[in-house]
Amino acid sequence: MAGKKQFKKVHMVGIGGAGMSALAEILLSAGIEVSGSDKNDSSVIRRLKGKGAKINIGHSADNITDNDLIVYSSAISRTNPEMQAALKKNILVIHRSDLLNLLSENKKSVFVSGCHGKTTTTALLSLIMEENGRHPTCAIGGELIDYPFRSGRSGAGDIFIAEADESDGSFIKYNPYISVITNIEYDHMSFYRERKNLHNYYRAFAEKALQLTVFNRNDMISSEVLSGIPGKTFGYEDCNMVISDLEFGNLTSRFKLCGRAGRKVGFEIWSPGKVMAENTAAACLAAEYMDVDLENSSNALRSFRGLKRRFELIGKYNGVTLIEDYSHHPTEIAVTLEALKASLKNTGSRLLAVFQPHRYTRTLDMWKEFALSFGKSDYTVFTDVYSAFEEPIEGIDGALIFKEARKIGLKCDYVQDMGRIPAFLKPELRENDYLIILGAGNINEIKKDLIRDLQN
């Protein structure tokens, strides 16, 4: 494929998505002219416009002009009018993953995949390398808070760090210098169909690593699937990067890591939970291989203030602490709620949750597991499913999870219309409560009304 410098005008269909917006930022910071379209306006769209991208809200054949490359995401079908216009004009059309692969050429690339934690791990490794003067090119599937770059940028160094999406199998396209696998679970089975297919894809991703595969020794499925693959492991025992002394502070995690130097180094990271410690260990293990020691990694991560929608502290309003988190898989939710509950030092504090299921297929596969995952919540409000471009499945909705949660004895309610949740919750909330909004869809849109009601 031709080098990226030969493309001067790149158009991105679905530019507002997490993976697409990071790529747009890389192209813009490299001086390439970027245009795009998305069906909805957003803060991401507005940020990209501020950096010079020309973006239209709504898809139209008229948006395709004199572009020399069209990039699309998995959410875009071939029948999209812009895709059709590009094909008629014989403009090269490639998937988002192909552009990511193209951008990583001739660099030491680290691709981070896994069911949970890949965005955070990608961000942590990016900060470690940046703060240690390595100036990496980064493609993060989320937005860093209070940092000079948010999700993507073109760096002057020889390192390329990116999130590798496993949901559509595209992660096996890459040729990583280092492959990082945070964990493996049976998600996105509408694509993989059978467990052995998911196993084969992850194993292929690991085997393509030119130098090293990093994976979780204490993750049962990872250990099974990646058995026999030479690599470095992280976890709590019998591994190359050992986590110990884990405890939770006020919405933080404190722990020690012990790597190849054989000495323990202390870390304090925003967001409580063992998964946060595991993400940090994975990033530090990859960084060690690229000659950044644990002390320097610990110092670098003092600048980490979290990511938007990844255990993001929205604020405290009349005594109620509001947090937003992207968790949309039962394991993620259970671990997040358990860690948050453990970090609450005020014995009078309650943990309340709002949850929007993400994808009909995932809800169909895991509705019982979703209900069980809210065991640490003192009270939960469930709402309807965010489709994520899937077609509805008859009988599959948020009420299915709610009924199961009630059945197993959890205190909860169901509000089908997401917009009614703030008013519904207002009488329930009291001082010292912690309210967490969970989901990968548009549930974050209720924040504005929630804040208004809490302030009043």
Which of 234, 268, 303 is the endpoint of a domain? 303
CATH for 76: 3.40.50.720
Mean pLDDT for the stretch of residues 433-442: 93
CA 416 – CA 399 distance, rounded (Å) = 8
Q: Which class for 194: exposed (0-12), middle (13-18), buried (19 or more C-beta within 10 A)?
A: exposed
Looking at the structure, do residues 91 and 112 belong to the same domain, yes or no? no
Measured between alpha carbons, how far is 59 from 83 in angstroms, rounded to an integer? Answer: 10
Confidence of residue 436 (pLDDT cuts 50, 70, 90): very high
- Residue 347 belongs to domain spanning: 312-455
What is the Cα–Cα distance from 23 to 141, expressed in whole angstroms? 10
Q: How many domains does the chain have?
A: 3
pLDDT digits (tens, 9 = 90+) for 384-408: 999 887 889 999 999 999 999 999 9
Q: What percent of the chain has pLDDT over 90?
A: 69
Distance between CA atoms of residues 64 and 393, nearest Å: 34
Average pLDDT in the chain: 91
Q: What is the CATH number of the domain that holds 129?
A: 3.40.1190.10
State the average pLDDT over residues 301-329. Answer: 90
Each residue's pLDDT tens digit, 32-78: 999 999 988 888 899 899 999 999 999 999 999 999 999 998 888 88
Residues 275, 370 within the same domain: no
> Do residues 297 and 316 share a domain?
no
Q: Indicate if 358 and 290 belong to the same structural domain.
A: no
CA distances to 5, 75, 233, 290, 349 from 264, in Å: 44, 44, 16, 19, 34
pLDDT at 160: 97
Same domain for 243 and 142: yes
pLDDT at 186 over 70: yes
Burial degree of 352 (CB within 10 A; 0-12, 13-18, 19+):
buried
Contacts of 286 (CB under 8 A, 6+ apart): 110, 125, 178, 180, 212, 214
Among residues 268, 303, 338, the one where a domain terminates is 303
Question: Which has the minimum average pLDDT: 36-40, 52-56, 142-146, 187-191?
Answer: 187-191
| Length of the chain, in residues | 456
Look up tokens 């005594």; give the residue: 319
pLDDT tens for 96-112 read 999 999 999 889 999 99
* CATH of residue 360: 3.90.190.20
Determine the Cα–Cα distance for residues 249 and 71; give it in Å rounded to an integer.
43
Final residue belonging to a domain, choices 46, 72, 96: 96
Cβ atoms within 10 Å, residue 410? 17
For residue 345, the model assigns a pLDDT of 72
Average pLDDT of 191-201? 92
